A and B are shown apart, each in its own frame.
Chain A
Amino acid sequence: MAERRDDLDVLIDAMSGVVNLSIDEEFRPGVRTYLAIARDMAAMLDTVTLADDELVLAPVYTPPERPE
């Protein structure tokens, strides 16, 4: 039975073309599995209430001193 195509397949097809990264059909099930995990993680991040006037983009930072 053919596997059901879903949003993740759409993402794979669209993004792999955009970033010029071909995904061999042999690799697709594994890639889909890990994209599904990433989607679950992203959904978890959406549950956090963040201040709307703050944006942290820098990937490298110095951990602060401990508060007194």
Chain B
Amino acid sequence: MIGPWASASEIAAAVATGEVSAQEVINDSFARIEARNGEINAFTDVFRDRALAEAEAVDTARASGQPLGPLAGVPFAVKNLFDVEGMTTRAGSKINREREPATRDAALIRKLNTAGAILTGALNMGEYAYDFTGRNVHDGNCHNPHDLGRMTGGSSSGSGAATAAGLSPISLGSDTNGSIRVPSSLCGIFGLKPTYGRLSRAGTFPFVDSLDHLGPFARSTRDLALAYDAMQGHDPDDHACAVRGIEPTLSELDSGVRDLRIGIPGGWFGKLIGSEARTAIDRAASALQAVARVTAIALDGASEGRAAAYLITNAESSALHLDQLRDCPDDYDPETRDRFLAGALLPAAWIVRAQRVRRWWLEQMMANFAEIDLLLAPATPCPAPGIDQDTITLGGREVPTRPNLGVLAQPFSCIGLPIVTAPIFSPGELPIGVQLIAPPWREDLCLRAARYLEYEGVAVAHTPALH
């Protein structure tokens, strides 16, 4: 039997050697989901028949001596905005349940299937991905495995919770303004938001086309790199997917960070974070500066970049939903509806200005990358708030939780930078993570830095105390 905390690479190795069959792995996985999902509410759908058929195919391939993929027999699950053939793509909403079932799997599901991974289910999320909390009025709130009374973060709430709780060694989510990084931080696991345009978004329900990214969650950097490498490659079905070859990261994962120049932003970031986030940054910086050159930097423009991201998100997503906002506003989650309605009324000059500031902010960051190789920044201002907590304190001000929990993540997705979120906390503490931010197309650098912190015992996806 494979335990709940086995990594994807361990599972794939055990399946490849015949130590365990893929069908056993999947049956064990469903038994754990059945036992734990009731209290966490991470899975909204399980695909038992499909998964067992896929597992049987892996076992048959092995028995006949065919080569197995790098993720053979590894269970994975996806945020429920991914198309799954034969299922309606609900995107966390009530409204989408009237849509026709998908006729084809999303591109990244097909990529992981090709690598041998097995789809077990679809995961809870904030409605239409407009969420940093993990609350959902239609499917119920998702609960943090480290403390069931606290938020998972969102909008990829089920992805963070399922992987943190040992229900899915790899899960996929989306990140428009922080929706991979916030749940990674609050649930204490690793998450990768690649460069904008790196991974295909074909077959997923959009939120903000010009800002949407997809990426993996895992409990180790090795699993993160394994999944990421398996999903790379140009896809003409996503108009924003870059025409680039596959740039593998796994083989260089242990290359370390010696002599890399790492900047830590002060200013705006320092003012917004609480003591737990500050401690996480200090611990990561302390470990990194043993081999790398760590310096404080000003990082001017981040707050303006965040403001640009907020307005572009608000306007673009509302335009996508305008017909439904006219026809059935009562069918939206009240926590997203009012923001969508407001976004439909914004003056155009604000949005054009936001696009110009976005470009300006990218130029500021690229100038910084002439001096540094990586940026180390807090992922969230605080650990998981209580699940009913409507406000948090930022820089001494009480502000609404839902639009502000991702405030430190928003500036970087706005300009498409690749980022790994690494969990920095001790067993028994509430998790919190840091962002390792690299120049465009250098996912390898942030994965290497996260791996270094993991190797040093600083970044660890500790098992939730409830277990």
B residues in contact with A40, CB < 8 Å:
307
Rounded to whole Å, the gap between the CB of B325 and the closest CB of chain A is 6
Residue in chain B with minimal CB distance to A46: B353
Q: Are the CB atoms of B359 and A56 closer together than 8 Å?
A: yes
- By the criterion CB–CB under 8 Å, are A15 and B345 in contact? yes
Q: CA–CA, A32 to B339, complex, Å?
A: 9
Q: Do residues A34 and B308 form an inter-chain contact, with CB atoms below 8 A?
A: no
Q: Is residue B311 contacting chain A, with contact meaning CB distance below 8 A? A: yes
Do residues A57 and B352 form an inter-chain contact, with CB atoms below 8 A?
yes
A residues 10-34 touching B (CB-CB < 8 Å): 11-12, 15-16, 19-24, 27, 30-34
Closest residue on chain B to residue A16 by CB atoms: B345
Bound-complex Cα distance A65 to B209 (A): 22
If A48-B304, A65-B441 touch, whether A31 touches B341 (CB-CB below 8 Å) is yes
A67 engages B242 (CB within 8 Å): no
Question: Which B residue's beta carbon lies closest to that of A23?
Answer: B341
Interface of B: prevailing SS:
helix
Nearest-CB distance from B84 to chain A (Å)?
A: 26
- Taking CB atoms, residues of chain A closer than 8 Å to B99 are none
Is the pair B356, A54 in contact by a Cβ cutoff of 8 Å? yes
With A27-B329, A45-B350, A54-B356 in contact, do A60 and B239 touch (Cβ < 8 Å)? yes
Once the chains bind, are A64 and B342 in contact (CB under 8 Å)?
Answer: no
B451 within 8 A of A: no
Minimum C-beta distance from B178 to chain A (A): 16
In the complex, whether B106 has a CB less than 8 A from a CB of chain A is: no
Instruction: Given A21-B325, A21-B341, A23-B341, output 14 extra A-B contacts at Cβ < 8 Å.
Output: A21-B326, A24-B329, A27-B338, A30-B339, A33-B400, A37-B403, A41-B350, A42-B307, A45-B354, A50-B357, A57-B355, A60-B209, A63-B197, A67-B366
* B interface residues with partner A (beta carbon < 8 Å): 195-197, 209-210, 239-240, 242, 301, 303-304, 307-308, 310-312, 314, 316, 322, 325-326, 329, 334, 337-339, 341-347, 350, 352-360, 362, 366, 369-370, 400, 403, 415-417, 439-442
Residues of A within 8 A of B (CB): 11-12, 15-16, 19-24, 27, 30-35, 37-38, 40-42, 44-48, 50, 54-60, 62-67
